[in-house]
Chain A
Amino acid sequence: MERDPNVIVIGEDVGAQGGVFGATRGLQKKFGSQRVVDTPISESAITGMGVGLALEGFRPVLEIMFVDFIGVCLDQVYNAIAKNHYMSGGRIRMPIVIKTAGGCIGSGAQHSQCLWGLFAHLPGLKVVAPSNPYDAKGLLASAVESDDPVIYIEHKGLLLKRAEDFTFGREVPAERYTVPIGEAKIVRDGRDLTLITLSGTVAPAVLAAEAVAKSGIDVEVLDLRSVVPLDMVTVIESVRKTGRVLVVDEDYLSYGLSGEVITRLVEAGVALKSVKRLAVPDVPIPGAVTLERAVVPNADSIEATILEMVDKR
């Protein structure tokens, strides 16, 4: 925002309160209420306004508090933001960021979804979901800089976590830097199996990898960081080495990220000894924690799945 006066932040509670997770704290004080705008609960107006502002040459960062609420304004997202560049034959651009929060923290079916698979299905949207503070800052800077629209989904569980409680990516430089969108990161090296995931399930995946290391199983953990673009170069290289692939996804199982990654591996002709997906088994996120634990991947279920896939006895 310091570098580019055209960056405007618009959303519910982003100004005076600095966001329900404190993500925009201090921003309105620094840049004023013209550039950091508190809105009524009017998601259709917020997203439509973003389209108009983009046409006026601005770079709107639209905050939709929870990804679930994008249901209210999906029309502007998929009929305008995603398609306008294409429909105009490349003549207009939609440099819009929709910054939102997803993921399970025990809040039931309407406040827990991830939905990156949904946005990834719609051509024209980049879809980013960071797993740690360092990437969160660098990817957001890239998203704001991007001339394409970006759906930037932060995980609520990570937003509520203190920086020092992260085991990776917790050092965040004060100065500006970017993390390029579309590059996966190898969070842990391994030889036996490639575990592909992103966002809130990276940390439990690393925990599970460390747990199975005691049984001599060496898991490579790959943090995709973005769903679109999907970094298949890194994925293919890793799976060529390990021959086994497990995709862990906090989004719904079917018609989503896990099927996409595996299909692309098959299409690329990568030899696969073992393939599995661990994702929300096509059910809404239940209210009760006992049920939520049964459907949302966690370190225990990831560990159990790895053990099914690699037999080291």
Chain B
Amino acid sequence: MVGFLTKEDALCSTHRNHLHAIAKGVDMRAMLAEIFEKSTGLCGGYGGHMHLFDSDLKFSATGIVGAGVPVALGHAYGARLKQNNAVAVAVVGDGAVNTGAFHEAMNMAGAMKLPLIVLVENNEWAISVPFSAASATETIAERAPSWAAHGVRVDGLDVEQVVDAFSNAVQRGRAGQGPSIIEAMCYRFRGHFEGDADLYRSTEEKERRRAADPIERIKATLIERSLATAAELDGIELSISNSMAEMLASVRSDPSPDAADARRYVFVD
């Protein structure tokens, strides 16, 4: 999404939103502080990690599965009203595509030919329920024609495939060609929540899928094409992880919100 979305293009995310916030350019320190519910956080500690909001960047997230898609629809219609050529993106999981909110919003986007892009991270599981058992269709992409949308399924762990599909969807949206669904196949490497015993997936499956780590894959590609050396990449990784460690330490020592302010913000005044 980096490089394709401008400040005017909205992004509505999910319970799994931190990476999308980074892609949209949300200030990382403010986000980390919000994850730690500090008063220095993106939302002053009132929201917490599932509920990030950055109105300047038109970024929002929700903890309610599926609920971001109609919100993105609103942004898409806003773009039409403002005639600013913006697109609106909703990122959802494969579980969310079975909610009523998803179907309703997709149908409206198709009927109104709105610039809505739904990026589905299909990690094949919604907590313990496999996508294959939850969906009437084998893929999500194949549902697209029923909403007059463009649908494509890509290997979501292959950076280049995702870039191509996203670029195409943004072009379609800006050209007034209506909504798109990108079904990006991926995998959740850990349990759904801290403390999830994750017994519904076999150890063999988990280990096998781990091998397809997209970061390792893109590193190998960069090296193979002589765009970077292993040493350079290691250097980048080390410097980023050092600066993150520093940021984390500094965020941890930030103050928590003052209990006396707990009743602020219920209403505007």
Contacts and interface: CB of A to CB of B under 8 A. Distances in A.
B255 to A, nearest CB: 9
Interface in B68-109: 95-96, 98-101
Contact of A289 (B37, B49, B193, B261): B37
A241 interface: no
Interface in B173-206: 193, 199-200
A12 B46 contact: no
Interface stretch (B128-136, B226-234, B242-250): B128-136
A110 B64 contact: yes
A291 B265 CA distance: 12
A287 B45 contact: yes
A291 B259 contact: yes
A43 B101 CA distance: 10
Given A108-B51, A111-B50, A283-B266, A291 B100 contact: no
Interface in A276-303: 281-284, 286-291, 293-295
A38 B262 contact: no
Interface stretch (A68-76, A86-94, A118-126, A226-234): A68-76
A40 B95 contact: yes
A72 B51 contact: no
B214 interface: no
B64 to A, nearest CB: 6
Contacts of B38: 288
A1 interface: no
Nearest to B66: A41
A40 B98 contact: yes
B63 A110 contact: yes
B208 interface: no
Interface in B122-141: 126-129, 133-135
Contact of A287 (B51, B67, B100, B133): B51
Contact of A40 (B46, B62, B135): B135
A40 B259 contact: no
A21 B209 CA distance: 27
Interface in A209-225: none
Contacts of B259: 290-291, 293-294
B67 to A, nearest CB: 8
A266 B101 CA distance: 44
B262 A286 contact: yes
Interface residues of B, number: 43
A109 interface: yes
Interface in A81-117: 107-111
B258 interface: yes
Contacts of B46: 286-288, 291
Contact of B62 (A15, A107, A110): A110
B47 A40 contact: no
Given A110-B64, A288-B45, A38 B129 contact: yes
A156 to B, nearest CB: 12
A13 B50 contact: no
A265 interface: no
Residue of A15, A42, A111 with most partner-chain B CB within 10 A: A42
Interface in A5-28: 12-13, 15-17, 20
A113 to B, nearest CB: 12
Contacts of A287: 34, 37, 43, 45-49, 51
Contact of B128 (A38, A40, A72, A110): A38
A39 interface: yes
A42 B99 contact: yes
B100 A38 contact: no
B200 A17 contact: yes
Contacts of B135: 40
A285 to B, nearest CB: 10
B249 to A, nearest CB: 19
Given A72-B101, A288-B256, A13 B47 contact: no
A282 B63 contact: no
Contacts of B258: 290
A142 interface: no
B65 interface: yes
Interface string A42-81: 1111000000000000000000000011011000000000
Contact of A281 (B49, B260, B263): B263
Nearest to A281: B263
A13 B128 contact: yes
Given A72-B67, A288-B38, 14 more contacts: A13-B127, A41-B96, A41-B134, A42-B99, A72-B100, A107-B48, A108-B48, A108-B50, A109-B51, A110-B50, A110-B62, A286-B45, A286-B262, A287-B51
21 contacts: A12-B127, A13-B128, A16-B128, A17-B127, A17-B128, A39-B129, A40-B126, A41-B65, A41-B95, A42-B100, A72-B101, A108-B51, A108-B63, A109-B47, A110-B62, A110-B64, A287-B51, A288-B37, A289-B37, A291-B261, A293-B259
Give 9 nearest A-B pairs by CB, closest first. A287-B48, A17-B128, A40-B98, A288-B45, A40-B134, A294-B259, A108-B48, A288-B37, A294-B262
Interface of A: 12-13, 15-17, 20, 38-45, 68-69, 71-72, 107-111, 281-284, 286-291, 293-295
Interface of B: 34, 37-39, 43, 45-51, 62-67, 95-96, 98-101, 126-129, 133-135, 193, 199-200, 256-263, 266
